[in-house]
C-alpha cells in the first residue's frame, strides 16, 4: 500500500524570491541586538509625519509692471498767419483786435474754455507724497543726532602738553594749526616749544613743525593766504610765520613794545593789504599790528574800566577772550577776567569811546565770546557754569541761557552752518551740542570725548566737522549729523523784545523810586527836623525784592479779608438758626 503525504507551505514562508543577476551582491538579514539599547535614549512619544500627495511648487501671479516715462512739452506762441510777423508787436496787436471783433469769437471761446479749465485744474492738483527730486534723498521729519570720531592727532612728544588754540586753514580747511603750551608755570617742566600743522588726512605725522624760541599760546591762519600765520607767544610777543620759508618765525615783535603778560589771543582784521591783525593779553592791553612792520604796534588800547578816559595800565583788567567779525569792520569784542564783555569800536576818538558798551556777562572770567555767524547782533558768552546768549539791543540781561552745569565750562563756539547750534566743552571731557530750536533746557547731543579736560573747539567752515582739543595734548576730529535748523531769527527777535519790555519796566520803577525820594527830601527840608537826609538809591535786585514784598503783603491782606468775610457769614447763619 503506497503511503503518500503531501507537504504544503505558504509562499510567504519561503523567504525572499531569488533574483539572479550578474552583480556580485549578497543580501543578508541582520537582527537587532537588544544589548545595544543601553547606548541610546528612548524617545516616547515619537511623532512622525508622512505626505503621500504630490508636492506642487508655489507661484505668484501679478500683472505686468506699468512703465512710466517723464516727458515735457515746450509751448511757444504759434498759430499766426504767414503774413503776420509774430515778433512785431504792432502787427500781433492789430490781428488780435480783428479776431476779437469776429462774431464767432465768443462762441468759440465758450467751447474751448471748459477743456482748458479742466487741464489747468489737473495741473494745479498736487500729490503731497510725490517725490519731485529723484536725485536727492528726502530729509526725515525727525532727524537723528549723532557724532563719530574721524581722526585723532596726538603730540609726538611723549610728555603731555595742553593744547591752547586751534585754527583751520582757509583752503577749504584741509590743514589744522595746533598750538601746544603749558600755561601753568608751577608745573611747567617740558622744554619743547614745538607746535604743529596737521594735514587732516594724515594723523600719523605733522605736515609742518613750527619751532619758536618760546611756546606758542595762540595761532591763527591768514584768511587770504594758507601759508601765512600769526601767533602770540608766552613771552608776550607776537610772531609772523610763512611755512614756505621753513619752521622758524619770519619776524617777531620787540619785547619792549609787546605785552607784559603772555599773549593769549590773536585775530586777523579786515584791511586793504591783508596784513593787519590785533592781539590781547591778560595784562589788559589790546594792540594792533602789521606783519610788514611787526617790531612795534600801530595802536594800543588799555582796558581801564575805572578811568576810561585815561589809559592807566595799573588799573587794567585782564583780557581772557577776543572776537572780531569781518562783516562789521572796526567793531570788536573782548571778554574780561572780571566777567565783563566790552563791545568796542576802534575808530573811537578817546579810549572811553572805544570801550563805551559794557555787558555784565558772567560771574567769573569770560572764556569765550562768539558772534552768531548770521545774526551778528547776537553773541554767545561762556564762563563759569553757564553759557548765555546776548543781544546788543539789551545790555542789562541776556535773552537766553543754559541751565547751570555741574562741571566747569572750558570753551564754546557757534556752528558755522547751523546757526541755531552751538558747542560747549567741559572740564570732564564732555562735548555738549545745543540746538535752540529743538530744546533750550538740555543739549540735543552729549559726547564723552576723553577722560581729561577739553580746552578748545573749532568748527570747520563746512559745518559737519569740528576739531576738539584736550589737555592731554590730543586733537580729535569729529563729524556731526547733518541736521539743519531754520527760523532762528524769530526766536532771537522774540527774546530780545521780551528783554526790552523788562528793561523798560525796570526803568519806570527806577523813575518812580527817584520821584518818591525827591519828595521825601523836599518834605524833610521844609520840616523843623535837623536830621541829615540820607537818600538810598536801590539797584535792580533791591527793586525786585521790594516789588515781591509788596505783592506778598497784598496777597496776605486779600486772604485775611476773605477769611474775615467767611467768619461773618458763619456768624450770621448761626444767628438765623437760633
Instruction: Return d(Cα 446, Cα 248) in angstroms, integer.
Output: 40
In a domain, 14, yes or no: no
Is a pLDDT exceeding 50 seen at residue 518? yes
Residue 485: its pLDDT value, please? 40
Grid cell of 77 as nine digits: 506762441
In a domain, 55, yes or no: no
Grid cell of 275 as nine digits: 596784513
In a domain, 77, yes or no: no
In a domain, 323, yes or no: yes
Give Cα separations from 104 to 91, 99, 109, 110, 536 (angstroms).
Answer: 21, 9, 9, 10, 93
In the Cβ-directed half-sphere of 360, how many Cα atoms lie within 13 Å?
Answer: 3
What secondary structure does DSSP assign to 79-111, as a single string?
Answer: ---TTS-TT-HHHHHHHHHHHHTSTHHHHHHHH
Based on the fold, state whether residues 476 and 505 are members of the same structural domain. no
Residue 369: its pLDDT value, please? 92
Instruction: Return d(Cα 354, Cα 278) in angstroms, integer.
Output: 15
Across the chain, mean pLDDT equals 80
What secondary structure does DSSP assign to 463-501, as a single string?
Answer: SSEEEEEETTSEEEEEEE-------HHHHHHHHHHHHHH
pLDDT band at residue 60 using 50, 70 and 90 as cut-offs:
low
* Strand ranges across the sheet with 386-391: 366-371, 378-383, 386-391, 400-401
- Report the greatest alpha carbon distance in the chain: 183
432-452 as b/e, with b when 16 or more CB fall inside 10 Å?
A: bbbbbbbeeeebbbebebbeb
- Of all helices (H) and strands (E), which one includes residue 570? helix 540-577
pLDDT band at residue 62 using 50, 70 and 90 as cut-offs:
low
**pLDDT mean over 31-48:** 78
Domain limits for position 169: 147-484
Based on the fold, state whether residues 546 and 408 are members of the same structural domain. no
Distance of CA 176 to the CA centre of its chain: 20
Q: Are 226 and 175 in contact (CB under 8 A)?
A: yes
DSSP β-ladder status, 285-290 and 276-281: antiparallel
**Based on the structure, what is the number of domains in the chain?**
2
Based on the fold, state whether residues 471 and 518 are members of the same structural domain. no
Instruction: Return d(Cα 339, Cα 320) in angstroms, integer.
Output: 9
Q: Are 546 and 553 in contact (CB under 8 A)?
A: no
Instruction: Return d(Cα 454, Cα 448) in angstroms, integer.
Output: 10
Based on the fold, state whether residues 404 and 546 are members of the same structural domain. no
In a domain, 358, yes or no: yes
Q: Which among 424, 456, 484 is the end of a domain?
A: 484
In a domain, 305, yes or no: yes
Based on the fold, state whether residues 343 and 270 are members of the same structural domain. yes
Based on the fold, state whether residues 266 and 328 are members of the same structural domain. yes
Instruction: Tell me which long-range contacts 37-43 makes (C-beta under 8 A, separation of at least 24).
Output: none
Do you know the residue count of the chain?
578
Based on the fold, state whether residues 315 and 176 are members of the same structural domain. yes
Based on the fold, state whether residues 435 and 517 are members of the same structural domain. no
pLDDT band at residue 560 using 50, 70 and 90 as cut-offs:
confident
Based on the fold, state whether residues 388 and 502 are members of the same structural domain. no
Based on the fold, state whether residues 185 and 333 are members of the same structural domain. yes
Instruction: Return d(Cα 470, Cα 480) in angstroms, integer.
Output: 18
In a domain, 347, yes or no: yes
Q: Which among 484, 518, 543 is the end of a domain?
A: 484
Instruction: Return d(Cα 526, Cα 471) in angstroms, integer.
Output: 69
Q: Are 230 and 271 in contact (CB under 8 A)?
A: no
Is a pLDDT exceeding 50 seen at residue 533? no
Residue 239: its pLDDT value, please? 92
Residue 313 sits in a domain whose CATH number is: 2.130.10.10
Is a pLDDT exceeding 70 seen at residue 339? yes
Torsions phi, psi for 475 (to 5 deg): -110, 135
Q: Are 446 and 432 in contact (CB under 8 A)?
A: yes
Residue 368: name the closest of 330, 422, 303, 445 by CA: 422
Residue 230: its pLDDT value, please? 92
Q: Are 477 and 149 in contact (CB under 8 A)?
A: yes
Q: Which among 484, 513, 547 is the end of a domain?
A: 484
Q: Are 169 and 178 in contact (CB under 8 A)?
A: no
Instruction: Return d(Cα 198, Cα 180) in angstroms, integer.
Output: 13
Which is more confident, 154 or 69?
154
Grid cell of 61 as nine digits: 501671479
Residue 486: its pLDDT value, please? 44
Give 538's contacts (C-beta < 8 A, 6+ positions apart). Answer: 513, 546
Based on the fold, state whether residues 221 and 355 are members of the same structural domain. yes
Based on the fold, state whether residues 544 and 478 are members of the same structural domain. no
Instruction: Return d(Cα 124, Cα 431) in angstroms, integer.
Output: 49
- Of all helices (H) and strands (E), which one includes residue 232? strand 228-233
Q: What single DSSP character describes residue 182?
A: -
What pLDDT digit, counting tens, does each position of 351-370 carry? 888 887 888 888 888 999 99
Instruction: Return d(Cα 230, Cα 239) in angstroms, integer.
Output: 6
Instruction: Return d(Cα 457, Cα 435) in angstroms, integer.
Output: 17
Instruction: Return d(Cα 492, Cα 490) in angstroms, integer.
Output: 6
Reduced to 3 states (helix: H, G, I; strand: E, B; else coil), residue 139 is coil
What pLDDT digit, counting tens, does each position of 163-196 carry? 999 999 988 888 999 998 887 765 655 667 889 9
Instruction: Return d(Cα 427, Cα 309) in angstroms, integer.
Output: 39
Residue 173: its pLDDT value, please? 81
Is a pLDDT exceeding 70 seen at residue 489? no
In a domain, 400, yes or no: yes
Rounded to two decimals, the pTM is 0.60
Amino acid at each position: 500500500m503506497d503511503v503518500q503525504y503531501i507537504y504544503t507551505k505558504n509562499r510567504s514562508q519561503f523567504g525572499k524570491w531569488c533574483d539572479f543577476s550578474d552583480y556580485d551582491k549578497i543580501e543578508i538579514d541582520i537582527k537587532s541586538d537588544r544589548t545595544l539599547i543601553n547606548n541610546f535614549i528612548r524617545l516616547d512619544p515619537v511623532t512622525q509625519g508622512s505626505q503621500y500627495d504630490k508636492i506642487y511648487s508655489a507661484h505668484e501671479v501679478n500683472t505686468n509692471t506699468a512703465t512710466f516715462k517723464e516727458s515735457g512739452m515746450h509751448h511757444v506762441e504759434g498759430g499766426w498767419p504767414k503774413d503776420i510777423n509774430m515778433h512785431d508787436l504792432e502787427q500781433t496787436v492789430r490781428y488780435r483786435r480783428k479776431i476779437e471783433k469776429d462774431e464767432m469769437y465768443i462762441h468759440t471761446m465758450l467751447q474751448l474754455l471748459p477743456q482748458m479749465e479742466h487741464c489747468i485744474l489737473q495741473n494745479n492738483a498736487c500729490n503731497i507724497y510725490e517725490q519731485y527730486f529723484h536725485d536727492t534723498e528726502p530729509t526725515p521729519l525727525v532727524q537723528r543726532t549723532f557724532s563719530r570720531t574721524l581722526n585723532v592727532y596726538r603730540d609726538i612728544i611723549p610728555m603731555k602738553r595742553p593744547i591752547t588754540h586751534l585754527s583751520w586753514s582757509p583752503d577749504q580747511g584741509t590743514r589744522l594749526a595746533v598750538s601746544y603750551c603749558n600755561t601753568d608755570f608751577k608745573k611747567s617742566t617740558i622744554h619743547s616749544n614745538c607746535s604743529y600743522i596737521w594735514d587732516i588726512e594724515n594723523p600719523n605725522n605733522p605736515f609742518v613743525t613750527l619751532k619758536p624760541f618760546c611756546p606758542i599760546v595762540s595761532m591763527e591762519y591768514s584768511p587770504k593766504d594758507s601759508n601765512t600765520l600769526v601767533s602770540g607767544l608766552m613771552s608776550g610777543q607776537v610772531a609772523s610765520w610763512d611755512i614756505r620759508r621753513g619752521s622758524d618765525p619770519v619776524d617777531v615783535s620787540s619785547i619792549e613794545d609787546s605785552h607784559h603778560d603772555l599773549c593769549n589771543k590773536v585775530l586777523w582784521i579786515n584791511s586793504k593789504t591783508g596784513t593787519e591783525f590785533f592781539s590781547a593779553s591778560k595784562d589788559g592791553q589790546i594792540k594792533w599790528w602789521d606783519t610788514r612792520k611787526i617790531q612795534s604796534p600801530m595802536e594800543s588800547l588799555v582796558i581801564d574800566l575805572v578811568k576810561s578816559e585815561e589809559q592807566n595800565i595799573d588799573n587794567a583788567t585782564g583780557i581772557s577772550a577776543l572776537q572780531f567779525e569781518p562783516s562789521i569792520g572796526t567793531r570788536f569784542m573782548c571778554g574780561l577776567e572780571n566777567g565783563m564783555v566790552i563791545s568796542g569800536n576802534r575808530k573811537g576818538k578817546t579810549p572811553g569811546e572805544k570801550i563805551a558798551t559794557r555787558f555784565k556777562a558772567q560771574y567769573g572770567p569770560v572764556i569765550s565770546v562768539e558772534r552768531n555767524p548770521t545774526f551778528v547782533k547776537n553773541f554767545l558768552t561762556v564762563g563759569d557754569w553757564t553759557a548765555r546768549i546776548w543781544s546788543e539791543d539789551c545790555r542789562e540781561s541776556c535773552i537766553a541761557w543754559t541751565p547751570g552745569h555741574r562741571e566747569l565750562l572750558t570753551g564754546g563756539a557757534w556752528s558755522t552752518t547751523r546757526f541755531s547750534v552751538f558747542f560747549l566743552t567741559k572740564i570732564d571731557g564732555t562735548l555738549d551740542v545745543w540746538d535752540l530750536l529743538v530744546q533750550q533746557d538740555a543739549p540735543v547731543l552729549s559726547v564723552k570725548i576723553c577722560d581729561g579736560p577739553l580746552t578748545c573747539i573749532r568748527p570747520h567752515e563746512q559745518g559737519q566737522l569740528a576739531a576738539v582739543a584736550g589737555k592731554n595734548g590730543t586733537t580729535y576730529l569729529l563729524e556731526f549729523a547733518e541736521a539743519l535748523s531754520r527760523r532762528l531769527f524769530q526766536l532771537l527777535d522774540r527774546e530780545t523784545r521780551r528783554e526790552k519790555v523788562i528793561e523798560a519796566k525796570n526803568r519806570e520803577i527806577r523813575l518812580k523810586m527817584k520821584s518818591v525820594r525827591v519828595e521825601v527830601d523836599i518834605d524833610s527840608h521844609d520840616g523843623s527836623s535837623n536830621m541829615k537826609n540820607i537818600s538810598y538809591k536801590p539797584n535792580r535786585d533791591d527793586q525786585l525784592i521790594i516789588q515781591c514784598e509788596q505783592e506778598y503783603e497784598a496777597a496776605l491782606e486779600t486772604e485775611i479779608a476773605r477769611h474775615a468775610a467767611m467768619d461773618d457769614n458763619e456768624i450770621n447763619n448761626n444767628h438765623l438758626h437760633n
